[in-house]
C-alpha cells in the first residue's frame, strides 16, 4: 500500500473526491500490485504488437529495435499479454522476494 497518511485527510481531500487535473493516472503506480511478471523471449517474438494492444496498463513498450519491453512501474502482472501473444513468446514468472 502506498503511504498516503502524510498527504491527504478528510479536510484536505478534493471537493467531491474529484481529480482536478487530466492524465493523472500516470501517477498511480499499478506495478505495486504485481505478484508475477511477464518475461519476453525475443527469439520467438515476431514484433506483431498484440501485447501492446491488449495490455490494459500500456506497460508493453516498443523499443527502437521493434521488440517490446515491460514497464514494471505499471505492469500489474495480469498475464493478458502472455495469453494473447500468438507466438507464446511471453512467460509469466512469479515475483521473488
Site string for ligand SF4, 57-86 (x = CB under 6 A): x-xx-------x-x----xxxxxxx---x-
Give yes or no for residue 15 binding other proteins (CB under 8 A). Answer: yes
Give yes or no for residue 39 binding ligand SF4 (CB under 6 A). Answer: no
Q: Any idea what the Cα angle at residue 70 is, between residues 42 and 48, rounded to 5°?
A: 50
Give yes or no for residue 93 binding ligand SF4 (CB under 6 A). Answer: no
Distance CA 93, CA 17 (A): 37
Number of CB atoms found within 10 A of residue 48's CB: 14
Give yes or no for residue 16 binding other proteins (CB under 8 A). Answer: yes
Amino acid at each position: 500500500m502506498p503511504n498516503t497518511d502524510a498527504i491527504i485527510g478528510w479536510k484536505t481531500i478534493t471537493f467531491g473526491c474529484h481529480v482536478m487535473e487530466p492524465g493523472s493516472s500516470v501517477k498511480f503506480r499499478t506495478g505495486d500490485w504485481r505478484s508475477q511478471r511477464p518475461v519476453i523471449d525475443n527469439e520467438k517474438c515476431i514484433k506483431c504488437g498484440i501485447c501492446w494492444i491488449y495490455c490494459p496498463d500500456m506497460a508493453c513498450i516498443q523499443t527502437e529495435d521493434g521488440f517490446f519491453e515491460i514497464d514494471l512501474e505499471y505492469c500489474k502482472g495480469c498475464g493478458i499479454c502472455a495469453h494473447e501473444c500468438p507466438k507464446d513468446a511471453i512467460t509469466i514468472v512469479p515475483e521473488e522476494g
